[in-house]
Chains A and B, each alone.
Chain A
């Protein structure tokens, strides 16, 4: 049930773009995105609900493709502060438990 994130890790130079994918083998109701700095708590970025909407947060945006059961996180013109591990969390709404299942994360390192 755990969503699969790709790539596992990516290294970019400041100003470059990145895409992180989150795929599920089951139909999704919602997808959450979080960023975690080393040794700190994860920080909420955005939630996308079933319906294929796209959301944005400064230069970070995400899409939700219901048919492909996949969400993608887009980081545009990356900044040094974007470094960290990105997690997606998925909700299958199987039994309305209100829990989400997190992927293993994608490590992003931005070089100056």
Chain B
């Protein structure tokens, strides 16, 4: 079955450490997105990519980095510069022309600080 797979489900980060969250999709979607979710804040866009080897910053990109080397994969790195990384991270994808297309979400990764 087609879908989006995020891993790991839970992740713990030590001070000063970079961690990478995985997002893979087999829906043949062109666009992929990373959102951060905090209680009461809704979904805030971190980065998004509409095509391989190209991506744009969202509203809260500071302290994060991404790559899009393959159409199926869009990993997110939470760097040590992100001082408050504890949150629920969601990856999504959609066909290009995303304003008219539903976003398909992965099951999320919950990141905490040790």
Number of A-B contacts (CB under 8 A): 64
Q: Which of A40, A47, A105 contacts B42 (CB 8 A)?
A: A105
**Contact, CB under 8 Å: A99 / B100:** no
Taking a contact as CB atoms under 8 Å apart, the answer to whether B100 and A49 are in contact is: yes
CA distance A87 to B98 in the complex (A): 17
Q: Are B102 and A99 in contact (CB under 8 A)?
A: no
68-107 of chain A: CB within 8 A of chain B: 87, 89, 91, 93, 97-105
Q: How far is the CA of A100 from the CA of B48 in the complex (A)?
A: 11
Tell whether A6 is near chain B: CB-to-CB under 8 Å: no
Give the residue of B44, B96, B99, B105 whose beta carbon is less than 8 angstroms from that of A29. B99
* A104: contacting residue among B40, B58, B100, B105, CB under 8 A: B40
Q: Is the CB of A100 within 8 A of B100?
A: no
Interface centre among B42, B100, B102 (most CB of A within 10 A): B42
For B44, the chain A residues whose CB sits under 8 A away are 102
Given contacts A40-B108, A98-B94, 11 further A-B contacts (CB under 8 A): A30-B100, A34-B103, A39-B88, A42-B43, A44-B104, A87-B42, A93-B99, A98-B97, A101-B59, A102-B35, A102-B44
Q: Which residues of A contact B (CB under 8 A)?
A: 2, 29-30, 32, 34, 39-44, 47, 49, 87, 89, 91, 93, 97-105
